[in-house]
Structure 1
Amino acid sequence: MTAYSLVIAGLPDEVFDRVKKESENKIAPGGKLFLIPNTNKNYAKSYVDRLLRSLFDYYINIPENTQVVTLLIYVDYGDSSTKAFLDRFFPFALPRRIEPINLEAARNKQEKINF
Structure 2
Amino acid sequence: MMRTLEHPATGELSLDAVLAALADPVRRTIVAQLAAGHEDQACLAFDLPVSKSTSTHHFRVLREAGVIRQRRAGTAIRSTLRREDLDARFPGLIDAVLGSTSDAAPEAASAG
Q: Same fold per TM (> 0.5)?
A: no
Q: Which has the larger radius of gyration?
A: 1
Query: Normalised by the size of structure 2, how large is the TM-score?
Result: 0.27
- Greater helix proportion: 2
Query: Normalised by the size of structure 1, how large is the TM-score?
Result: 0.27
